[in-house]
Amino acid sequence: MGPLKPIEWVINPSATAGVPSAALADILPPDISRLARSFHRQIPGFKMSPLKSLTHLAEMLGVGGIWVKDESQRMSLRSFKVLGGSFAIYRFIKAKLGLDHLEVPLAELSSPGVRAKLGDLTFAAATDGNHGRGVAWAAAQLGFKSVIYVHKFTSQARIQAIASLGARVEVIDGTYDDAVRQINLDAEQHGWHVISDTSWEGYQDIPKWVMQGYTTMFSEVQEQLAAQGFVKPTHIFVQAGVGALAAATIGFYAKRFGAERPKTAVVEPDRAACLYHSIEVGDGAPHNFPGDLNTIMAGLACGDPSPLAWSILKDYADVFMQCPDYVAGKGMRVYAVPLAGDSFIVSGESGAVTLGALLFAMQLPEYTGLRERLELGPDSHILLLNTEGNTDPDHFRRVVWEGGDPVPNRYKTYHVST
């Protein structure tokens, strides 16, 4: 048996041409992106993360442009996740005070009077690392406690980063999905309030608020692209765990541009490809991906899709991909050692898999059909999301310094300058 292919891909036969769905209207109602961005701008020290251009790499691959929203520079947390966790906690507190219909300043919710009305709240989350860190940070900013459950494959670096924000961290002997189930049981027993980016029956509002918080990234992207003379990206490659980020990304652009939205590819680890598997099953429902989910892409190691996210992805994502770990490894190294004149980017394993997938898709002849399906070519301006920076230094050095998860010889590509 030869090495695993860098990309297995499947077309989404249900992708609409731009017909608005009830799910999209419910999850991303009018004005919600503006409200989310208005809230985030009130956070002390908040600023836009940069949109970086890989002009020379785009030329080498034969596309018009590659744009990278670099969330490794999102505040001190080096991840986009704080956008969702903070906005969900903000909306939770407003709802608890009976003010959810109002645009309440963050300073008012942080005031001693409001704090006294709320009492001692404890926020809880299950995480692969970055989401829990974002929830812990947001809770601490408002003076509340947090409890974060992680799975047994979570690195000590990620655990310590969460604990440093004042959270109590518990390691669950199982997968991320096991941690989700356990924290829900324990939260009910202890009166904690779960802030999750995945949904289940009877638990929809908070995951919806998390997804709404993510849209701040794309409001920023649109502003940053406009400054470069572009209306929108033509293509988006977006990574997925439970699917919340992918759905927020694709939903934002479907809502704004309808039938003219960018073409999209959802990228997952082959060891945790729950969305890819769900499309393969083809019955319109989300399905569990079995196994231990042990991939270097820790932030994407999820076996159960979020039904809320799936309700958007099944209607609007164009292609689903699954990739082995070496694809993320290649993406990390290319970001870290760019072509002369391109931006240097520090990217963790989950942040880099989309660049790796794009490289293989454009450079290997066996992906001609994929390129044609997505209409990738000289006029393509592709948006990638570097969702995390170096959040696990040991793993980062293993891949970038020591060449961990190397590309198999069969799939190595080289560009020879003349």
Give residue 152's pLDDT band: very low, low, confident or very high (50, 70, 90). Answer: confident
Q: Are residues 322 and 229 in the same domain?
A: yes
pLDDT at 36 over 70: yes
On whether both 265 and 378 belong to a single domain, the answer is yes
3 part of a folded domain: no
Residue 343 tokens, joined: 């931006």
Domain end residue (candidates: 149, 183, 203): 203
* Position 54 in a domain: yes
Same domain, 265 and 396: yes
- Give domain status of residue 244, yes or no: yes
Task: Encode pLDDT of 61-74 as tens digits.
Answer: 999 999 999 999 99
- 137 and 175 in a single domain? The answer is yes
* 3-class SS of residue 27: helix
Count of H helices and E strands in the chain?
A: 18, 11
- Same domain? For 163 and 195 the reply is yes
| Lowest-confidence pick of 9-18, 217-226, 353-362 | 9-18
Q: In whole angstroms, how far apart are CA 268 and each of 55, 317, 377, 399? A: 25, 13, 23, 19
pLDDT at 1: 63
Q: Regarding beta strands 51-53 and 319-323, do their DSSP bridges make them parallel or antiparallel, or are they unpaired?
A: unpaired
**pLDDT tens figures, 279-303:** 999 999 999 999 889 999 999 999 9
Check residues 178 and 128 and name the one with the higher pLDDT: 178
Please give the span between the terminal C-alpha atoms of the chain, in angstroms, as a whole number.
Answer: 36
Last residue of a domain, one of 154, 178, 203: 203
418 within domain boundaries: no
CA distance 58 to 64: 6
> 347-378 pLDDT, tens per residue?
999 999 999 999 999 999 999 999 999 999 99
Is 402 in the same domain as 345? yes
Q: So what's the pLDDT on residue 114?
A: 86
Of the chain, the percentage scoring pLDDT greater than 70 comes to 98
Active-site annotation holds for 255:
no
Tell me which residue range forms the domain holding 176.
81-203
Query: Looking at the structure, do residues 362 and 225 belong to the same domain, yes or no?
Result: yes
Let me know whether 53 and 145 are in one domain: no
Q: Name the band, by pLDDT with cuts 50, 70 and 90, for residue 191.
A: very high
pLDDT band at 178 (very low <50, low <70, confident <90, very high): very high
| pLDDT tens-digit series, residues 229-275 | 999 999 999 999 999 999 999 999 999 999 999 999 999 999 999 99
As a whole number, mean pLDDT of residues 325-349 equals: 97
Q: Which amino acid is at 237?
A: F
* DSSP string over 303-327: SS--HHHHHHHHHH--EEEEE-HHH
Question: Can you give the pTM of this predicted structure?
Answer: 0.95
Answer whether residue 2 is part of any domain.
no
Instruction: Select which of 52, 69, 81, 208 is catalytic.
Output: 81
pLDDT at 277 over 60: yes
Burial class (CB in 10 A: 0-12, 13-18, 19+), 285: exposed
Distance CA 183, CA 66 (A): 39
Q: Which two tokens stand for residue 21?
A: 């769905």
Give the pLDDT band (50/70/90) at residue 164: very high
93-151 residue pLDDT tens? 999 999 988 889 988 888 888 888 999 999 999 988 789 999 999 999 888 999 999 98
- The CATH number of whichever domain residue 93 belongs to comes to 3.40.50.1100
Residue 415 in this model has a pLDDT that exceeds 70: no
In this prediction, residue 416 carries a pLDDT of 42
Is 24 domain-assigned?
Answer: yes
The percent of residues in the chain predicted with pLDDT above 90, rounded, is: 84
Domain boundary among 185, 203, 221: 203
Residues 300 and 228 in one domain: yes
In the residue annotation, 379 being an active-site residue is answered as no
Residues 233, 133 share a domain: no
Q: What pLDDT, on the 0 to 100 scale, is given for residue 16? A: 79
Predicted local distance difference test score (pLDDT) of residue 153: 83
State the pLDDT confidence band at 75, using cuts at 50, 70 and 90. Answer: confident
386 is a domain residue: yes
The 3-class secondary structure across 250-286, one letter per residue, is HHHHHHHHHHHCCEEEEEEECCCCHHHHHHHHCCCCC
Output the CA torsion 163→126→400→249 (10° steps). -120
- Both 230 and 349 in one domain: the answer is yes
State whether 312 and 236 are in the same domain.
yes
Number of domains in the chain: 2
More confident residue, 2 or 192: 192
Average pLDDT across the chain, whole number = 94
Q: 136 in a domain, yes or no?
A: yes
Mind listing the pLDDT tens digit for each residue in 387-403?
A: 999 989 999 999 999 99
Selecting among 128, 177, 315, 392, the annotated active-site residue is 128
> What pLDDT is recorded for position 198?
93
